[in-house]
Chains A and B, each alone.
Chain A
Amino acid sequence: MERSSEIGERRAVISGVGQSQIGRRIYRHPLDLTLEASLRAIEDAGLTRADIDGLATYPGNMDVPPGFSGVGITDVHDALRLELNWFAGGLEAPGQLGSVANAIAAVATGLANHVLCFRTVWEASAQGDKGRASVTMGGGLGGGRYRATSFMQWTLPFGAPSAANWIGMMAQRHFHEFGTTREQLAQIALNGRRNAARNPNAIYRDPMTVDDYLGVRMVSTPLCLYDCDVPADGSTAVIVSRADAAPDLRRPPVRIEAIGTALRGRPSWDQFDDLTTMAVRDAAAMMWERTDLRPADVDVAELYDGFSFITLCWLEALGFCGHGEGGPFLEGGHRIAPGGDIPVNTHGGQLSAGRLHGYGFLHEACVQLWGEAGERQLAGPPEVAIAAAGGGPLAASLLLTTYR
């Protein structure tokens, strides 16, 4: 079927962003973090809470796994006594930024004027000093009585409860088909750590060397500990507003040039046709179908690194290099560093700045476009940015500009 020629997302803009305190085991209530981020974002936009008539979040309120959410639409709605015309939260979305895509659609169709979007995690506090196993389904969670259903029944019985295992298998297949190496993949982690040194809110800021990376323990081959993001506590909020509301805003908003939310393969970690790319392939393709801009026009790319390999997938899928060429593209790390072909994860990514789960990339893209990134601000400032989040069968990307 022909796609609509109308690019409705251009009726929406991003008017403000905000983040709470971010850290490890800060033991603050997730709603407290969420309200801190939300009120900062509303103020950043130049709005008041009376202007907010929409709410969107990912994944909505969930008790398990602990720390993964804990804050839903209802909590924020009631705490701020908002009067809403539209709201939606949920896990079944094209990744974390699927919730922002929902908000964009709501604004573009006139269902809401200003949508507060948020994502809150408190996984560091939830795990506390008890470690990762304490929050594993069927182990620390549920114990011996738990029986797996849905997708989990196909993977938990084989001791593979984590995306570390599933992404590890994707990476192994990529290594096999294209000759990608751990030394190449390391550049994602090293780039993040270098950039985090200039981000006062990042969790890990000490320098990391290739030898540090190659020497650390394995989690699920070929992924080592430094290929896995760091559990954090924190909340990120983003305000999606009507483009014609710009005169009411504190500063010129970030324009939404195009979004990609496609999933054209099977929605499954182990049944997807091409395990060397998965949904990022489809989301990126859809985004480029909706714009005349090309990868060479992009000044900065904030690309999900829940696992380093996913950033490699995004670099390939978005066309910064060809499919299978991610390893050589990363060689030496200079192409993705500030001043390189395409600066990536300028805040440190989730590997070093903390697992804020998708929204941190959108926050950083906006801050860079507004020229408000402080010590880590790219020269220019950049005029075109990509924020992309998700991996495996979940992915969405946004192409953002400050073009008038």
Chain B
Amino acid sequence: MTAARPFRVLPAITPENEHFWLGGAEDQLRFLRCVDCRYWVHPPQPVCPACLGRSLGAEAVSGRGTVHTFTVNWQPWYPDLDPPYVVAIVALPEQEGLRLTTNIVGCEPDDVTIGLAVHVTFEEYDDVWLPFFTPEPA
């Protein structure tokens, strides 16, 4: 018998965000990108904030990134999500300022530092693929 997976609040899936939350099914971390000026856009919106173009499409990034900042959460916010766990903002190399909030998994909390090289790893919860990040092999 395997241990029950931790509890996760899941996002409501919409046409606007499904590229992000379902990309893990194809092992892809996807963001909107402007077809005209090639600017990455996150969170999704219907107009490019850089050039105001209306042609945006989902594209996959490399899935590599670095820990921009993090926190080790010790507060039991949810009955079935046991602390400690690491919440982080990961910066992606594709564009200055392109980043997302996530968890760092597959290592001890004490091993996480700002600047740590990480890559995406997905876990499926119901109809959603949550993008977590794990340290690159040393």
Verify if B71 is at the interface (C-beta below 8 Å from A). yes
Task: Mark interface residues in B3-33 (1 if CB within 8 Å of A CB, else 0).
Answer: 0001111111000010000000000000000
Complex-state Cα separation, A222 to B76, whole angstroms? 16
Verify if B101 is at the interface (C-beta below 8 Å from A). yes
Q: Are A148 and B10 in contact (CB under 8 A)?
A: yes
Closest 10 CB pairs of A and B: A138-B9, A168-B71, A153-B11, A147-B12, A173-B69, A156-B9, A139-B78, A221-B72, A218-B74, A160-B87
Q: Which of B10, B85, B88 has the largest number of chain A CB atoms within 10 A? A: B10
Residues on A with beta carbons closer than 8 Å to the beta carbon of B132? 158
21 A-B pairs (CB sep. < 8 Å): A132-B75, A137-B9, A138-B9, A139-B77, A147-B11, A157-B9, A157-B130, A158-B130, A159-B8, A165-B73, A165-B87, A168-B87, A169-B87, A169-B89, A170-B69, A172-B114, A218-B72, A222-B71, A270-B100, A270-B101, A275-B69
Residues on B with beta carbons closer than 8 Å to the beta carbon of A221? 71-74
Q: Which residues of A in the span 108-166 have a Cβ within 8 Å of any Cβ on B?
A: 132-133, 136-139, 144, 146-149, 151, 153-162, 164-165
Q: Which residues of B in the span 29-77 have a Cβ within 8 Å of any Cβ on A?
A: 42-43, 68-77
Q: Are A136 and B43 in contact (CB under 8 A)?
A: no
Closest partner residue, chain B, to A137 (CB atom): B9
Closest partner residue, chain A, to B75 (CB atom): A219
Residues on A with beta carbons closer than 8 Å to the beta carbon of B125? 157
Verify if A289 is at the interface (C-beta below 8 Å from B). no
Verify if B128 is at the interface (C-beta below 8 Å from A). yes
Residues on B with beta carbons closer than 8 Å to the beta carbon of A137? 9
Q: Min CB distance, B85 to chain A, in Å?
A: 6
Verify if B119 is at the interface (C-beta below 8 Å from A). no
Supposing A138-B78, A161-B9, A217-B74 touch, asked if A273 and B97 sit within 8 A by C-beta, the answer is yes
Supposing A157-B10, A275-B89 touch, asked if A169 and B70 sit within 8 A by C-beta, the answer is yes
Q: Chain A interface mostly helix, strand, loop or mixed?
A: mixed
Residue among A136, A157, A270 making CB contact with B11, cutoff 8 Å = A157
Q: Which residues of A in the span 167-226 have a Cβ within 8 Å of any Cβ on B?
A: 168-170, 172-173, 176, 217-223
Q: Are B73 and A160 in contact (CB under 8 A)?
A: yes
Q: Min CB distance, B99 to chain A, in Å?
A: 7
Residues on A with beta carbons closer than 8 Å to the beta carbon of B130? 157-158
Closest partner residue, chain B, to A154 (CB atom): B101
Complex-state Cα separation, A132 to B114, whole angstroms? 29
Residue among B6, B10, B69, B88 making CB contact with A176, cutoff 8 Å = B69
Verify if A271 is at the interface (C-beta below 8 Å from B). yes
Supposing A149-B12, A169-B70, A275-B69 touch, asked if A162 and B77 sit within 8 A by C-beta, the answer is yes
Q: Are A165 and B71 in contact (CB under 8 A)?
A: yes
Task: Mark interface residues in A262-304 (1 if CB within 8 Å of B CB, else 0).
Answer: 0000000011010100000000000000000000000000000
Complex-state Cα separation, A219 to B102, whole angstroms? 18
Q: Are B79 and A139 in contact (CB under 8 A)?
A: yes
Complex-state Cα separation, A132 to B73, whole angstroms? 14
Task: Mark interface residues in A17-42 (1 if CB within 8 Å of B CB, else 0).
Answer: 00000000000000000000000000
Residues on A with beta carbons closer than 8 Å to the beta carbon of B77? 132-133, 136, 139, 159, 161-162
Residues on B with beta carbons closer than 8 Å to the beta carbon of A144? 7
Task: Tally chain A residues at the interface, Cβ within 8 Å.
Answer: 41
Task: Mark interface residues in A238-276 (1 if CB within 8 Å of B CB, else 0).
Answer: 000000000000000000000000000000001101010
Complex-state Cα separation, A136 to B78, whole angstroms? 8
Q: Min CB distance, A228 to chain B, in Å?
A: 9
Q: Which of B79, B85, B101, B130 has the largest number of chain A CB atoms within 10 A? A: B101
Residues on A with beta carbons closer than 8 Å to the beta carbon of B85? 159
Supposing A157-B8, A157-B9 touch, asked if A220 and B89 sit within 8 A by C-beta, the answer is no
Complex-state Cα separation, A97 to B87, whole angstroms? 30
Q: Min CB distance, A29 to chain B, in Å?
A: 28
Closest partner residue, chain A, to B43 (CB atom): A154
Q: Min CB distance, B49 to chain A, in Å?
A: 9
Residue among A132, A133, A160 making CB contact with B101, cutoff 8 Å = A160
Complex-state Cα separation, A160 to B41, whole angstroms? 22
Q: Which of B12, B71, B97, B100 has the largest number of chain A CB atoms within 10 A? A: B71
Q: Which residues of A in the span 220-238 have a Cβ within 8 Å of any Cβ on B?
A: 220-223
Verify if B107 is at the interface (C-beta below 8 Å from A). no
Residues on B with beta carbons closer than 8 Å to the beta carbon of A218? 72, 74
Residue among A148, A151, A176 making CB contact with B9, cutoff 8 Å = A148
Complex-state Cα separation, A146 to B9, whole angstroms? 7
Residues on A with beta carbons closer than 8 Å to the beta carbon of B17? 153
Closest partner residue, chain A, to B11 (CB atom): A153
Closest partner residue, chain B, to A153 (CB atom): B11
Q: Which of A160, A161, A164, A176 has the largest number of chain B CB atoms within 10 A? A: A160
